[in-house]
């Protein structure tokens, strides 16, 4: 069909599509492998799923015919207990992806600039041009640490936001507290994306209390097993949040998601046990990967491990593992040459990955 002249905005016409992960059923059908034989290590999800308490809470909720609470009162009360910040310092979103979008929409005018430190999570550079902004990507150092002098030098009068993921995806390393403070001192909006905080247990959230231009973002997608329900939250000063409340869609976090996130906080001990299992498995996975002759794993503070692939193509390795039913991510960009990223799964997932890697050696 020929496209009608709908006058799509130029920023959208030239947009690079985001490459998302696809449903297991679709991949299983394409590969001719039953879904239960697939090992999903490509999106840093919690392989234990959500807890029985969360599933029951979702099943028992009787108000799906009503709109969700636009002010997320009960969810924010639970988040206040969990995150240790008052409710008026918290706002929930449909995943942290929505919160990234909201923050960009809050401050970016056409031609404004957004800084990120690459390689990093792709959503910052995906969402900025939709708003008409321009991403300025500052390379990290060879060990993936932030290059603070280069970030500071990249700031100009059109710079509006600096995004830093800590731990960073896909490299797994943390940003230093002093480094974040150096960025905050610029008075620009600094967003620290702590999507993997539960695995690193290191945060700069306490600095939000004294720095109005600092925002910390978190998510229920990784540690709490709720990626499919889309719940994230941010911690920010009420003076900044008041404006985000004005632009967020009223019913952005649906009822099932709000119920599930509250239940996850109520069932904290159980979920923290799965996090502890993932952390224990991370050590085992790292040791296993280090013994594979063609892989060089990097240290990590998150629930995934980045590996440099040596002497063969990372893409072909990803493809070969995929054909065998093991799903991982690969990267081959100038700053991240010939690498794969493996999420930490269950012990049986590590065993299966090992088996398939050895078969491909």
Q: Catalog residues that contact ligand PLP under the rule CB under 6 A.
A: 44, 95-97, 121, 165, 169, 193, 195, 219, 221, 227, 232
Among residues 221, 223, 159, 149, the alpha carbon closest in space to that of 191 is found at: 159
129 HSE (CA, 13 A, CB side)? 16
Distance CA 219, CA 58 (A): 18
Distance CA 225, CA 192 (A): 21
Question: In DSSP terms, which residues pair with 341 in a beta bridge?
Answer: 306, 329
41 neighbors 357 (Cβ within 8 angstroms): no
User: CB of 99: closest distance to ligand PLP in angstroms?
Assistant: 8
Q: Which is nearer to ligand PLP, 179 or 324 (CB)?
A: 179
Q: Which two tokens stand for residue 360?
A: 């491909």
Q: Which is nearer to ligand PLP, 195 or 208 (CB)?
A: 195
Q: Which is nearer to ligand PLP, 173 or 219 (CB)?
A: 219
Among residues 159, 226, 233, 224, the alpha carbon closest in space to that of 190 is found at: 159
The residue at minimum Cβ distance from ligand PLP is: 95
Q: Which is nearer to ligand PLP, 170 or 357 (CB)?
A: 170
User: CB of 166: closest distance to ligand PLP in angstroms?
Assistant: 9
Tokens 């394409």 found at:
30
Q: Which is nearer to ligand PLP, 68 or 119 (CB)?
A: 119
Characterize the bridge pairing of strands 113-118 and 39-40.
unpaired
User: CB of 168: closest distance to ligand PLP in angstroms?
Assistant: 7
Tokens 């321009």 found at:
134
Question: Packing angle between helix 123-130 and helix 95-107, nearest 10 degrees?
Answer: 40
User: CB of 170: closest distance to ligand PLP in angstroms?
Assistant: 8
Q: Which is nearer to ligand PLP, 44 or 300 (CB)?
A: 44
User: CB of 219: closest distance to ligand PLP in angstroms?
Assistant: 3
Q: Which two tokens stand for residue 342?
A: 């493996």
User: CB of 253: closest distance to ligand PLP in angstroms?
Assistant: 11
Q: Which is nearer to ligand PLP, 196 or 292 (CB)?
A: 196
Distance in angstroms between the alpha carbons of the first and the last residue of the chain: 47
Distance CA 94, CA 105 (A): 15
Q: Which is nearer to ligand PLP, 47 or 95 (CB)?
A: 95
User: CB of 5: closest distance to ligand PLP in angstroms?
Assistant: 34
Q: Which two tokens stand for residue 357?
A: 């890697």
User: CB of 282: closest distance to ligand PLP in angstroms?
Assistant: 16
Tokens 């600092």 found at:
214
Among residues 199, 221, 355, the alpha carbon closest in space to that of 278 is found at: 199
User: CB of 97: closest distance to ligand PLP in angstroms?
Assistant: 4
User: CB of 267: closest distance to ligand PLP in angstroms?
Assistant: 19
Question: In DSSP terms, which residues pair with 89 in a beta bridge?
Answer: none
Q: Which is nearer to ligand PLP, 43 or 155 (CB)?
A: 43
Q: Which two tokens stand for residue 291?
A: 């013994």
- Report the SS3 class of residue 324: coil
Number of H helices, E strands in the chain: 14, 13
Distance CA 277, CA 267 (A): 16
Q: Which is nearer to ligand PLP, 120 or 159 (CB)?
A: 120
């Amino acid at each position: 069909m020929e496209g009608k002249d709908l006058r799509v905005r130029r920023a959208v016409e030239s947009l690079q599509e985001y490459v998302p992960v696809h449903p297991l059923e679709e991949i299983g059908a394409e590969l001719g492998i039953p879904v239960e034989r697939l090992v999903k290590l490509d999106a840093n999800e919690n392989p234990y799923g959500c807890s029985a308490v969360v599933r029951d809470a979702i099943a028992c909720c009787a108000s799906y015919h009503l709109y969700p609470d636009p002010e997320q009162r009960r969810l924010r009360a639970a988040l206040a207990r969990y995150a240790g910040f008052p409710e008026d310092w918290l706002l929930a979103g449909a995943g942290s992806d929505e919160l990234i979008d909201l923050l960009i929409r809050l401050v970016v005018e056409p031609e404004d600039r957004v800084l990120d430190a690459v390689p990093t999570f792709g959503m910052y550079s995906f969402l900025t041009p939709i708003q008409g902004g321009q991403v300025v990507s500052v390379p990290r150092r060879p060990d993936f640490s932030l290059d603070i002098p280069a970030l500071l030098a990249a700031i100009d009068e059109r710079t509006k936001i600096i995004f830093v993921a800590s731990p960073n995806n896909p490299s797994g390393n943390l940003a230093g507290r002093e480094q974040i403070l150096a960025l905050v001192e610029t008075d620009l909006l600094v967003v620290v994306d702590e999507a993997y905080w539960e695995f690193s247990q290191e945060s700069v959230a306490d600095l939000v209390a004294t720095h109005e231009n600092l925002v910390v973002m978190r998510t229920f997608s990784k540690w709490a097993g709720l990626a499919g329900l889309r719940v994230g939250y941010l911690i920010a000063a009420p003076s900044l949040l008041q404006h985000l409340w004005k632009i967020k869609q009223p019913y952005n976090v649906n009822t099932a998601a709000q119920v599930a996130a509250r239940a996850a906080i109520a069932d904290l001990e159980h979920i923290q046990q799965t996090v502890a299992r993932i952390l224990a498995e991370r050590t085992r996975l790292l040791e296993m990967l280090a013994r594979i002759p063609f892989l060089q794993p990097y240290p990590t503070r998150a629930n995934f491990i980045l590996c440099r692939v040596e002497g063969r193509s990372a893409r072909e390795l990803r493809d070969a593992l995929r054909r065998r039913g093991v799903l991982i991510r690969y990267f081959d960009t100038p700053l991240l040459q010939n690498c794969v990223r493996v999420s930490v799964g269950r012990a049986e997932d590590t065993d299966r990955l090992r088996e398939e890697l050895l078969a491909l050696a």
